[in-house]
Amino acid sequence: MRIEDEPAFVLHARPWRETSLLVEVLTEQHGRIGLLARGVSSARSQPLRAALQPLQWIRLTAVQRGELAQLRGAEALDAAPRLLGDAMLAGFYINELLLRLAPRQDPLPDLYDAYAVVRQRLRDGDPLAWTLRRFERDLLDALGVGFDLSHDGDGEPLDPAARYELDPGDGPRRLLSDRGADQRRGAATGSALLALGADRLPGSEDLASLRRSMRTVLLHHLGGRGLKSWEMLDDLSRRR
């Protein structure tokens, strides 16, 4: 199958043998695909190699044979966001999430659109925690495993004053008042979940309550194996 002039975002690139790259991209019409880019180490191929950096938006032509497609050409459609510090880690995080969760060769146009949005928010310097929670929500929705953020698993409207655990299958489950302090700290507030569902920035404490709850859901879909970016973010947080 020939893939012609296909828009895509570069998620990851690593050297293969002496002169080539193995590249993972999220395409608009074909979902996530793996590419073999041969002979990109010469001086003449530097524009192509530069276009195959993570977060870059490109247009590519390739021939799909087996699991990997053979890259025939690619050009940058814009300049990749120049991210530093926490924003750079956030970019690494969203790419790692897609590498682990987005299936190969499965068109997911909503996921492609969500990636375009989060990439622009990172470029614009939007608040990182809120940017990441919104992307996690959109990622789960695009993969078909999202949940209602206005009602709990029993169909009851969320109480802004209550706390909720997020069940990967059933969504919010109200936390009983006799639960321990540690369990309550790991639960999201009802007001935070309602704000996330309405795409409305919550207060700082409510926003902080979403992080651990969303991570629990993502860890379930990751098969219980965490992310390298989580380790890096946690280590950075401890140092601070």
Q: In which order are the strands placed within the sheet that holds 188-189? A: 171-174, 163-167, 188-189
* Model pLDDT for residues 116-141, shown as the tens digit of each residue: 999 999 999 999 999 999 999 999 99
Question: What are 157's two structure tokens?
Answer: 């409207």
pLDDT cut 90: percent of the chain above it: 80
Q: How many CB atoms lie within 10 A of CB 122?
A: 21
Q: Rounded distance, CA 108 to CA 93, Å?
A: 19
CATH (residue range 2-76)? 2.40.50.140
Mean pLDDT, residues 161-185 taken together: 81
Which comes out higher in pLDDT, residue 40 or 12? 12
Do residues 25 and 11 touch, judged by C-beta distance below 8 A?
A: yes
Domain positions in the chain: 2-76, 85-239
Q: Rounded distance, CA 36 to CA 41, Å?
A: 13
Mean pLDDT, residues 94-107 taken together: 96
Q: Rounded distance, CA 67 to CA 29, Å?
A: 17
Q: Residue 191: helix, strand or coil by DSSP?
A: helix
* Model pLDDT for residues 37-87, shown as the tens digit of each residue: 988 776 577 788 889 999 999 999 999 988 899 999 999 999 999 999 999
Question: What are 56's two structure tokens?
Answer: 């870059």
pLDDT of residue 152: 96
- Residue found under tokens 């608009």: 28
pLDDT of residue 179: 56
pLDDT of residue 134: 98
The domain defined by 85-239 carries CATH number 1.20.1440.120: yes
